Amino acid sequence: MTEISRRSFNLLAGASLATLSTPLFAPSVLGQAKPRLVVVGGGPGGATVARYVTKDSAGAIDVTLIEPLKNFTTCFFSNLYVGGFRDLKSLRHNYDKVRKGGVNVVPVMASSIDRDRKQVWLAGGSRVPYDRLVVAPGIDLKWDSVPGYSEAAAQIMPHAWKPGAQTELLVKKLNALKDGDQIVMVAPPNPFRCPPGPYERASMFAHVLKKKGYKKSRIVIIDPKPTFSKQAIFMEGWEKHYPGVIEWQDPKMHGGIKSVDPKTGEIKTDLSTYKAALANVIPAQMAGKIARDAGLADQSGYCPIDPESMKSKVDTNIFVVGDAAIPGDMPKSAFSANSQAKVAAMIIRAELTQSRAFPARYSNTCWSLIAPDDDIKIGASYEPGEGKIKQTTGFVSQKGEPADVRKQNYKESVDWYNGIVADVFG
Amino acid sequence: MMPKAMAGQVWARRQIRYRLFAAATTFVLIVGGLPAAYGIDVELGRYLSSECMTCHGTAKADSTIPNIFGLGQTRFVAAIKAYRDKALPNPVMQTIASRLSDDDIAALALYFQTAKKPK
C-alpha cells in the first residue's frame, strides 16, 4: 500500500505510473503538516478549484490534482473544429502551468474513493489521503438509452460528446460525405452537457455542406425533447443560412426513437427509417463513474449538491463541481463548471484555513455559432435559493438582431475561450 | 535667535507650502480615487474578481473583452454602474453588474486598480 504526500510527490515529479505503484512513499504523517485537498478530474471544474485554492491559500493547503490526461482537449469550442473554424490543436491544453503554480498534478487515473478512510485509490494501487475532496469527473454516457447503441457502435456512429478521438472521427466522416448523403443526429434528453451544443453542431454540419457546394444533402435531428435551448434563434438562423437543409423533429413528429443500427446506418423511429451516411448519436448522460461508484449520485445519475457551497449532499468532506453535479437552474457547461469551482474553492479554503467565506454567486454564458460571424448567446446569474442554484437574472439573443451584433458575439466568444482556458489551465 | 519679522515670513511660507501640499494631496486623492479605499472590503473584491477572471484574464488591446487590470477606480466604477443601469449595451456585463451593490463595485474597483494581469 502506498500513500502520496506533497513532499513525496514533489520528490517524484514526473514519475511514471509504474513508479507510482511501487511503495516508495513517506508515511502519512508527513502530509499532516498542511490540510490536504485532492481534486479528481482536471477539466474546467477540477483544474479551476485546484488552481484557485493553491493561489489563494498561498501554500497553506496541500493541493493534489489527479488527472490521467497529459493534454486536455476541451469539449467546448469543439463544434468550431467540426465547422472548420479551428484546428484541434487549438483546443488542447496541458498542465504545465497548473503544476508551476504549485498544484501537485498526478497523471494517473483515480479508480475509486474510500469515503470512510478519506482517501482516493489510484489505478496503480497507490492511495492519496484527503481532508477535502473535489470530484469533477464530467459525464459518462448511458449507452443503453438509445436501443442498438453501444460503446462499440460509437466507433461507427460517433457521439463526439467527449472530446478527442470521437470528435476527430466525426469530422473524418463529415469530410467523407458525398452530395446527397444524409446526416442524422439523435439528440440527447435533458439533462445533458452543453444544452445548445447539438444544435450548434447541426449548424456546423450545414455550414460544411454549404461550403462544399452540396445541394442535395440533408440533416435530420431526431430529438427526444419537445423544445431546445435558443430554439427560435437557431431555427431563424437555419432558415436564413441553410434553407431546407436542417429538419428538426420533436417527439410528437417522430413518435419515439426505436433503434439505431451501426451495421446498416439505419435509425428507426415511429415515423420512418432513416439511412444515415453520418449518424451522430448522442445518448443520455450521467455523472462520471467514480462519482457514482462512491455513492455521490442519486437516481438521476447526477450528484446532489448544497447550493451554498457545491458540497455533496451525501458527504460533507466532498465537493462535486461541473457536469457531474445537479446544478439547479444552471446548464452543464464549462462556464458553469468554472463558476461553481470558484465557489467550492472559496468554501474549501475557508474550512481548511479559517479564511472568510462569502455568499455563493454563480454565472454562465453560452455562445453558439450558427454560420460565419453569426453567433448567438444565452446567459444568466445564479444564487442559492429554494434549495437549489436558482437563476436570478438572464438574457438571450433575439431574433432579427443586426449582423454586427452577431459578429461581435463571435469575437467575444473567441476572447472568452482564451480567457477561460487561461483561468483553468494557466 | 531669528528676528520676529523673519520668523513670521518663514511661518507664512510654511503655511503656503502646507496649503499647496494639502490642496495637491486632496486633488490627487480625489482624482486617483484613493479616499475610496477607506472602509472598502478588499477580501470581498478579491473573491468577486474571480467571476471576472473567466473572461478578462487574457484581454488585449484589440479584444472585445477589455483589459481591466490597472484600471483606475473611478473609470471602473463608472463603467460597471453604466452596465448596471443598462446605459452600456453588452447583456453579459449587464447581467453580471445587475447584482453588484455599490460596495461590491467599490471592492472590485479597488482590487483591479492594483491587481496584476496573470502571465
Q: What are the φ and ψ backbone dihedral angles of A182, each rounded to 5 degrees?
A: -105, 140
Q: CB B92 to CB A408 under 8 A? A: no
Q: What is the mean pLDDT of residues B92-101?
A: 97
Chosen for mutation from B50, B53, B94 (greatest number of chain A CBs closer than 10 Å) is: B50
**B119 lies in a domain?**
no
Q: Are residues B27 and B74 in the same domain?
A: no
Q: Determine if the peptide bond prior to A189 is cis (ω within 30°).
A: no
Out of A268, A285, A302, a domain closes at A285
pLDDT of A301 reads 98
Q: What are the φ and ψ backbone dihedral angles of A115, each rounded to 5 degrees?
A: -70, -30
Q: Confirm if A51 and A43 have CB atoms less than 8 A apart.
A: no
pLDDT of A172 reads 98
Which residue in the set B56, B65, B95 is minimally distant from A393, CB to CB?
B95
Range of the domain at B28: 4-32
Q: List pLDDT tens digits, range B6-37.
A: 555 545 555 544 444 444 433 333 334 444 46
B4 has a chain A CB within 8 A of its CB: no
Q: What CATH number did the domain enclosing A337 receive?
A: 3.50.50.60
**Nearest CA distance, A419 vs chain B (angstrom):** 5
| Total number of residues shown for chain A | 426
CA–CA separation, A296 and A115 (whole Å):
10
Supply angle C-alpha A215, A201, A175, rounded to 5: 55
CA–CA separation, B96 and A343 (whole Å):
16
Q: CB A342 to CB B51 under 8 A? A: yes
In order of A189, A273, A413, the CA distances from A308 in angstroms are 27, 48, 29
Range of the domain at A235: 142-285
**pTM for the model:** 0.89
Long-range residue pairs from A23-31, CB within 8 A, at least 24 positions apart, any chain: A25/A126, A27/A3, A28/A3, A28/A129, A30/A5, A30/A6, A31/A3, A31/A5, A31/A6, A31/A7, A31/A62, A31/A129
Q: How many domains does chain B have?
A: 2
pLDDT along chain A (426 residues), means of 10: 49 38 35 88 98 96 98 97 97 98 98 98 96 98 98 98 95 98 98 98 98 98 98 98 98 97 97 97 98 98 98 98 98 98 98 97 98 98 98 97 98 97 98
Q: CB B92 to CB A395 under 8 A? A: yes
User: A161 by DSSP, 3-state: which?
Assistant: coil
**A131 lies in a domain?**
yes
Q: Are residues B27 and B51 in the same domain?
A: no
Q: List pLDDT tens digits, range B36-91.
A: 467 899 999 999 999 999 999 998 878 999 999 999 999 999 999 999 999 999 99
CB < 8 Å to A411, chain B: 64
What letter would DSSP give residue A360?
-
pLDDT of A92 reads 97
Q: Are residues B51 and B94 in the same domain?
A: yes
Q: CB B64 to CB A335 under 8 A? A: no
**A204 lies in a domain?**
yes
Return the closest-CA partner of residue A66 out of A162, A165, A135. A135
Q: Are residues A97 and A210 in the same domain?
A: no
Per DSSP bridges, beta strands A362-371 and A374-385 are antiparallel
CB proximity under 8 Å: B 8-37 to A? none
pLDDT of A42 reads 98
Report ipTM (2 d.p.): 0.87
CA–CA separation, A46 and A419 (whole Å):
17
Q: Are residues B66 and B87 in the same domain?
A: yes
User: B61 by DSSP, 3-state: which?
Assistant: coil
